[in-house]
Amino acid sequence: MTEKPSPGGEEQDVHRLHRLESSASGRKADRYPAGYKSAGLDISTRPDPGAPFGSVAQAGATGRKTATGPARAVRRKRRGWKSRLLGAVGILGFLMIWELMPILGIVNARFMPPASEAIVDLFRNFGLTLFWVAVWDTLKAWLIGMLIAVSAAAILGFIIGSSPFLKKFTNSTIEFMRPVPSVALIPLAVLLLGIGIESALLLIVYACFWQVLIQVLYGVADVDTVAMNTARSYGLGPIARLRYVVFPTALPYLMTGVRLAAAVALILAITAQLIIGSPGLGAEIAKAQSGGAYVSMYSLVLATGILGVLINLVMRVVERQLLSWHTSVRSEVVN
């Protein structure tokens, strides 16, 4: 602990930091499972010695190999066919109930046609250019809004979270602003930006910004103090500490915020199109409802649901790729 950093540059400092971790964790081996005996400072940001030798997880966030422990990692079984079958049965049950309600006269078949008619109309929409234009308009608003919100929230989150003064200075403002529903800003958006895509973007960015910002602040606050002080004592600058200590810890929180914001962004995009009249699936649903084309309206609602499922699947794939080194994604156990 009394070693002083040599002027060998940043790479050498990182190497020395790992050596310090190994020596420090050896004194605390009894407090951790066998697989963690060389990861005593901060498990979430440190390499996992229980992972297979040479893997990204074993090398750690900094890319440096460390000593492997006696434990070996065993991948937990992923979701089996029984879970998928139960999920399919649930969807079929929902569609069956929807099909029977108008047939049995529980609801008016004019205003709620059977599910089979809506599904047939949905497949008919797949061959219409107007349908795909509406889908693209919705995805465009979702994508642009997400890019703006995630970029702004991530940058401000790391800046605010790294400064105790800024955290105290902005805490009251954040707690006051983030509970405000985005739909309450619809009149303001229409007055300032009209009924184009700009109004939808304002609502999407406002709603998604807080989702991501709060998660990033939690992630920065979760950084291990000992690891940060050790990195600082070995001369790592602010950029190096952000890269090797803060960012690996905050990244899982950031991805959680992004995944939550993705669903919120789609909801706000459809809402803005439905109420304001911005082009997209929401506007087509409003047109179908006002024109009495209820079968088409329900088929478009189904399309928004399918779009939400696809977006969620894409975000999960992105999350697994970016967090492939993290134990929560690798789903590995140490025996």
Q: pLDDT tens, position by position, for the chain (335 residues)?
A: 444 445 455 556 555 555 555 444 444 444 444 444 433 333 444 445 555 554 445 444 444 444 554 444 455 556 677 777 888 888 899 999 999 998 888 888 888 899 999 999 999 999 999 999 999 999 999 999 999 999 999 999 999 998 989 999 999 999 999 889 888 999 999 899 888 889 999 999 999 999 999 999 999 998 888 888 898 888 888 888 888 889 988 999 999 999 999 999 999 999 999 999 888 999 999 999 999 899 999 999 999 999 999 999 999 899 888 887 776 666 544 44
- 3-state class of 5 per DSSP? coil
Confidence (pTM) = 0.71
Neighbours of 161 (CB within 10 A): 21
> What's the token pair of residue 142?
């979702």
Dist. CA 235–CA 222, nearest whole Å: 21
Select from 27, 22, 30 the least CA-distant residue to 3: 22
Neighbours of 289 (CB within 10 A): 17
At residue 12, what are phi and psi to the nearest 5 degrees? -65, -35
Quick one: angle between helices 164-177 and 197-221, nearest 10?
140
